[in-house]
């Protein structure tokens, strides 16, 4: 099962990097969203791994689940996201878009889960501090198709 997930993640990663390759940002930031960020976000959502998504995270992380927005410490955000993944066990994740802007990057995707009738829209914002991309925001909403 793990090898199937890894193969699926690599496939999604390949599709995601193609989508992000032509994007540019300001002169002081990245030319596009780094591959490591795309792999991290994609793998975290495929595996339902809150720890990977939050490694590393800012001191305060904004988590918005179905319209309810709250700021948490990174430790609290771990428990909130772990519970979300326990309740909404991922069955697939597809990267939709990735954009770099200055020292921030934004990743958007679609999450299918085992107990859901609707696909979920996922938005993730990371900010670069030195050479590290810290998670600052996760937003998950029902897809409006």
Domain boundaries, the chain: 2-142
Which whole number is the average pLDDT over 117-145? 91
Statement: residue 94 has pLDDT above 80: yes
Q: Are strands 120-129 and 132-142 parallel, antiparallel or unpaired?
A: antiparallel
Do residues 116 and 88 lie in contact, with contact meaning Cβ atoms separated by under 8 Å? yes
Q: How would CATH label the architecture of 2-142?
A: Roll (3.10)
pLDDT in tens, 41-72: 999 999 999 999 999 999 999 999 999 999 99
Statement: residue 104 has pLDDT above 60: yes
Residue 86's SS3 state is helix
């Amino acid at each position: 099962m793990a090898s199937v997930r890894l193969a699926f993640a690599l496939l999604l990663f390949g599709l995601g990097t193609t989508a992000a390759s032509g994007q540019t940002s300001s002169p002081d930031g990245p030319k596009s969203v780094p591959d490591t960020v795309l792999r991290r976000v994609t793998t975290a959502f495929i595996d339902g791994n809150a720890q990977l998504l939050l490694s590393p995270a800012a001191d305060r992380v904004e988590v918005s689940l179905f319209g309810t927005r709250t700021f948490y410490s990174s430790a609290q955000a771990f428990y909130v996201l772990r519970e979300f993944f326990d309740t909404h066990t991922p069955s697939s994740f597809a990267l939709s878009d990735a954009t770099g802007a200055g020292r921030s990057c934004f990743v958007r995707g679609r999450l299918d889960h085992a107990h859901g009738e609707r696909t979920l829209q996922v938005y993730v914002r990371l900010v670069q501090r030195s050479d590290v991309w810290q998670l600052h925001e996760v937003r998950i909403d029902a897809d409006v198709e």
